[in-house]
Structure 1
Amino acid sequence: MNHLIIGIAGGSGSGKTTLALRLKERFGENEVRLIPHDSYYKRHDDLPFEERCKLNYDHPDAFDNDLLIEHLKALRAGQAIDCPIYDYADHNRSDRTLHIEPAPVLIVEGILPFVEPALCALFDYKIYVDTDADERILRRILRDVKERGRSLDSVILQYRTTVKPMHEAFVEPSKRQADVIVPNGGENGPALEMLAHHIRSLIQRANTL
């Protein structure tokens, strides 16, 4: 089996996850595996909760890309992995893992997968989701307060101190690595259908090699 590795990048709240999920819906259940880059935030058991809250989670150094690269290479070689699970409320990696079996298509989505050269080099196809900043911050507030147990004040503080400056320094420039730029992520129906068709053609091409 040939394994196609797709990277989806974009700012926080841009619609990356929605795009990844809707792409997965276009294929069979066993054809696609989703791997959040967030799952590979570094573990910080050495720091108390108060200190973990202060860390910059929007900088490339926040991620254990070496482990993700190791796992992607294992999946490409037909080996299953135990993917970390990140606890957003605790600001640390959980003790639980998610067992992931190989599949024809592996999708990695996150804010910074295109920044680390060794990781970026593993992607056969790179998609950047480009969404207006006002829309992104509104989505982030709703998500972090409702789904991740954060306070409104903490979300706004984090956005001003790390999310916005790191987006400008690292996320936005990484779009230059993309093969295609998609406005509005999973809400862009025509782009979604185009991507699904193109990915299907890439799978077929890989299987003829």
Structure 2
Amino acid sequence: MSKTTVIAIAGASASGKSLFASTVYQELVAELGTDGIAILAEDAYYRDQSHMTMEQRVLTNYDQPSAFEHDLLLQHIQQLRAGKSVEMPQYSHTSHTRMEDTIKVASAKVIMVEGILLLTDPALREEFDIAVFMDTPLDVCLLRRIKRDIEERGRTLQSVTEQYEQYVRPAFFDHIFPSKQYADLVVTRGGQNEIAIDIIKTKIRQLLAE
């Protein structure tokens, strides 16, 4: 049986991580089948805040490593490697806490993990066979974030820009950008870099064949 390959796709918020992961997924499905690839989202592992008031939840800094339950994410990656399925949490960016429902994720030959702070955690880094960093200009990320948060998360322009100035931008320079040094591959052009996608697919094939 081929080994499991775990790929981290990290980078700033709205840097193109999801697009890159989706493209790699779609192009590998033809080779591995829909059961051959699993995806975990770091966002799903934001800590449960149901015990807090909405006012308290709004004030949480969601761009710090402590905002995530990385221990649970690590446990789930290890379980998937061992051939077991996991129940991935679901998180609501509207109510700022976890939802009651979970999503069952089955073990697969390729596991992609996508999120902003994946490479900041030493224990998580040990689990990644390939670490990708999406290197997208911050002004592009901000414009994408404004569009996404207003259209998909019901935010106002003022709330998005205030959160960006107070939390998102400082966290990028404090945590996300320094973690770039741990990447095996730095990808430009915001998730639409076909050469990088081909390199990742080639490396995945090599790892699976070992």
Q: TM-score range by the shorter chain?
A: over 0.9
Q: Does 1:71 align with 2:114?
A: no
Contact persistence 1:129–1:181 (CA under 8 A) = yes
Question: What's 1:134 paired with?
Answer: 139
* Structure 2 residue ranges without an equivalent (≥5): none
**Distance in 2 (alpha carbons) for counterparts of 1:51 and 1:153:** 19
Question: What's 2:10 paired with?
Answer: 9
Deviating above 4 A after TM superposition, structure 1's stretches of 4 or more consecutive aligned residues are: none
**Distance in 1 (alpha carbons) for counterparts of 2:205 and 2:157:** 41
**Distance in 1 (alpha carbons) for counterparts of 2:121 and 2:38:** 21
**Distance in 2 (alpha carbons) for counterparts of 1:67 and 1:195:** 26
Indicate the SS of the match to 1:75. helix
Contact persistence 1:14–1:184 (CA under 8 A) = no
1:176 to 163, 166, 181: 181
Indicate the SS of the match to 1:143. helix
Q: What's the CA shift for 1:199? A: 1.7
Question: What's 2:48 paired with?
Answer: 43
Indicate the SS of the match to 2:149. helix
Q: What's the CA shift for 1:148? A: 1.6
**Distance in 1 (alpha carbons) for counterparts of 2:67 and 2:19:** 23
Equivalent pairs counted in the alignment come to 205
RMSD: 1.0
Q: What's the CA shift for 1:30? A: 1.6
Indicate the SS of the match to 1:185. coil
Q: What's the CA shift for 1:184? A: 2.2
Contact persistence 1:9–1:112 (CA under 8 A) = yes
Q: What's the CA shift for 1:145? A: 0.9
Using the size of structure 2 for normalisation, the TM-score is 0.95
Q: Does 1:117 align with 2:100?
A: no
Moved more, 192-201 or 50-59: 192-201
Q: Does 1:27 align with 2:28?
A: yes
- Superposed CA deviations along residues 34-83 of structure 1, whole A, max 9, x for unmatched, are 10101000001111111101100000000001111111111100000000
Counterpart code for 2:43 = D
Q: What's the CA shift for 1:123? A: 0.6
Counterpart code for 1:19 = F
Counterpart code for 1:98 = I
**Distance in 2 (alpha carbons) for counterparts of 1:184 and 1:18:** 11
Quick one: percent identity of the two aligned structures?
Answer: 39
Using the size of structure 1 for normalisation, the TM-score is 0.95
* Structure 1 residue ranges without an equivalent (≥5): none
**Distance in 2 (alpha carbons) for counterparts of 1:137 and 1:182:** 18
- Superposed CA deviations along residues 107-144 of structure 1, whole A, max 9, x for unmatched, are 11100001111111111110000001110100111111
Q: Does 1:189 align with 2:189?
A: no
**Distance in 2 (alpha carbons) for counterparts of 1:105 and 1:54:** 36
Q: Does 1:18 align with 2:19?
A: yes
